[in-house]
Structure 1
Amino acid sequence: MLNQTYQDVEIILVNNNSTDGSHQILHKYRSEFPDKIFVFDEAKKGAPAARNHGLNKARGEWIQFLDADDELLPGKLQQQFEIASNTGADLIAGACLLKYKLKNKINEIVRHADPDIWRGLITSNLGITSSNLWRKRVLLDVNGWDETLSSSQEYDLLFRLLKNNAKVAVDDAVNTIIHFSDNSISKSRDKEKLKRILENRVNLRLRIKNELRASGILTHQLAQAVDTYIYTELTNNYFAIPEYADDFMRKHRLDVKYSRVISLNTKMFLKHLYAQIVAS
């Protein structure tokens, strides 16, 4: 944040039960920049609680969330403030670069926000926490982050903002980099945890579909986007939690293109076969 070309900012650092000396580091920065940096403590564990704490302490009109593994390029804020000024938007959904470090190899994926706002929400292509710029007032209007959720918090928040008629603009410039290490991208072997994550993702899409239907704006394309997203999640996680996937498929009829079904199932079985070969 200190390298941003736009410098009329306050930097709020929230210590969330750290045990690695982060608290001392935060106060070191506070002593170096006493007019710009402010440090607070949040006892309730979890990113949503820490973000809500910072949100409530913030004095500015706009909020830029930033986690420890995120990097903002110098022009990020200036670029998105200009878009907000030109569009009157309440949320700027930004593009980002995802950098995955796997042993000695780095894979890079660019994710752009979808200009079709509801489709972007359904498919998780409406920016991410740090690539977006958020107007404080609209966040407070929906009571901020849901601290009861264990996952899918940012898209739950985006959903509530859209339901509350927040105006969204898209920023196609890549000014945010998310760094994933080997540890941060390893999947949990806790099947109950995986099930909760999957349930949160699936249930959110069902809520979106019901909202669109109730509002009279559920097109066939959007309904199919919801069903395809859910089927993709069920397929990708099938061998970890088959009971949940089978139970869901028995209760719900999903409209997914046949070519997509074949492609997903083929990938699922090949991935499972490869895992078995490696394990043996």
Structure 2
Amino acid sequence: MGPTQSNPLVSVVVPTYERPEAANRAIESVLDQTYRPIELIVVDDHSPRPVADALGPINADDVQVTTIRHEENRGGNAARNTGLDAATGEFVAFLDDDDEWLPKKLERQVTALEREDAGFAYTGVRNVGPDGETISITSSSNGGRVTKRLLFGNFIGTFSAVMARRTVIERAGRLDERLPSWQDWEYYVRLSQYGRCVAIPEPLVVRHNAPTGQISRSIEPKREVSYPLLLERFRPIASEYDVERKMEGYLSYALGRAALSNGDYAGARRDFIRSIVRYPFDPSFYLYLAAAAGGRYAYPSLRTVKRYVTRLTA
């Protein structure tokens, strides 16, 4: 899709902190988009070295670039909110600084949102390791009215896969800056209350998984802050669908999986037991409880067992 006067403006919000090389890669993938016009908003969350000093030259037709720097480090959602405050486009897309897009990502999403008259859209994601090797590929498939399904887990994934209409974002409100993790999951539930979702199966996002340093790898913020906040936020919505106990079961399950991946086996056991008490109908809860009971010797074999169980029940 070439640039035309009829194309609506897309605002791209890139929050970044102390990763100039990754940020340059992310920005380059924005400039390589087949869609125009684009408003690119880079929000530097007070990096020790200002990101503006490290960015390469940005020369592209129909790309308006704005760089904003926080006076203190405030976190990813605060940076996204700053970008939203500055955005003027009809559509808004998020891109984390350690991710990148394939060239047709924006074009495919704008086309889908306009065709379906939907509120937001997401794409599949290719997850890669430090050496660029593909770890996994997720394909999006859940579309339509997805609020109820989102209460049981974040099937959308990274912010980098999402584009939303500005009108839907305005109704959903600002992102919750109190959340140190699961910020995306909480926000998708709110977006879904004000617009239909479009799933674009192709993996048009490349997510670079670093071995350390990602906040999602820390269990304590999830346990002490994110879990109680999401429980409080999701309960009234779940009550409307009469799935409060099921929602609580899946939220405890998500917490248990995070604990398990961080080596907190005792905490994971408590989380999985709570998930079973609240919703005893998902076999995965029992499988993960068994892995947590086996500790560090059982957990590595869990993926193999899950594949075997999946084949038996398919």
Identity %: 20
Once residues 98 and 243 of structure 1 are traced to their aligned partners in structure 2, the CA distance between those partners, rounded to angstroms, is: 28
Stretches of structure 1 that go unaligned for 5 or more consecutive residues are: 276-280
1:211 pairs with 2:211: no
- Matched to 2:48, the amino acid is T
Q: Distance in 1 between matches of 2:154 and 2:57?
A: 34
Aligned pairs (5 A) from 1:70-149: 70-101=99-130, 106-115=133-142, 117=146, 118-149=148-179
Match of 1:234 among 256, 265, 271: 256
Per-residue deviation at 1:128? 2.3
Take 1:15 and 1:246, find their aligned partners in 2: how far apart are those partners?
Answer: 39
Does 2:227 match 1:197?
A: no
| Structure 1 segment 1-280 matched on structure 2, within 5 A | 1-26=30-55, 29=57, 32=59, 36-44=64-72, 45-101=74-130, 106-115=133-142, 117=146, 118-163=148-193, 165-184=194-213, 194-199=219-224, 200-201=226-227, 203-204=229-230, 207-213=233-239, 215=240, 217-218=241-242, 224=246, 227-231=249-253, 233-234=255-256, 237=259, 240=264, 242=266, 246=270, 253-257=277-281, 259-273=283-297
Taking a change above 3 Å as real, the CA distance of residues 59 and 206 of structure 1, as seen in their structure-2 partners, is closer
Gaps of 5+ in 2: 1-29, 300-314
CA distance in 2, matches of 1:4, 1:78: 8
Task: Output the CA distance in 1 between the equivalents of 2:213 and 2:200.
Answer: 27
The Cα RMSD (Å) is 3.4
Q: How many residue pairs were aligned?
A: 263
TM-score w.r.t. length of structure 2: 0.71
The answer for the alignment partner of 1:278 in structure 2 is none
- Name the amino acid aligned to 2:173: N
Matched-pair contact (CA < 8 Å) for 2:119–2:196: yes
Tell whether the 8 Å contact from 1:206 to 1:226 is kept in structure 2 after alignment. Answer: no
For residues 29 and 141 of structure 1, the distance between their equivalents in structure 2, rounded to whole angstroms, comes to: 36
Which range is displaced more, 243-252 or 229-238? 243-252
Q: Distance in 1 between matches of 2:132 and 2:160?
A: 24
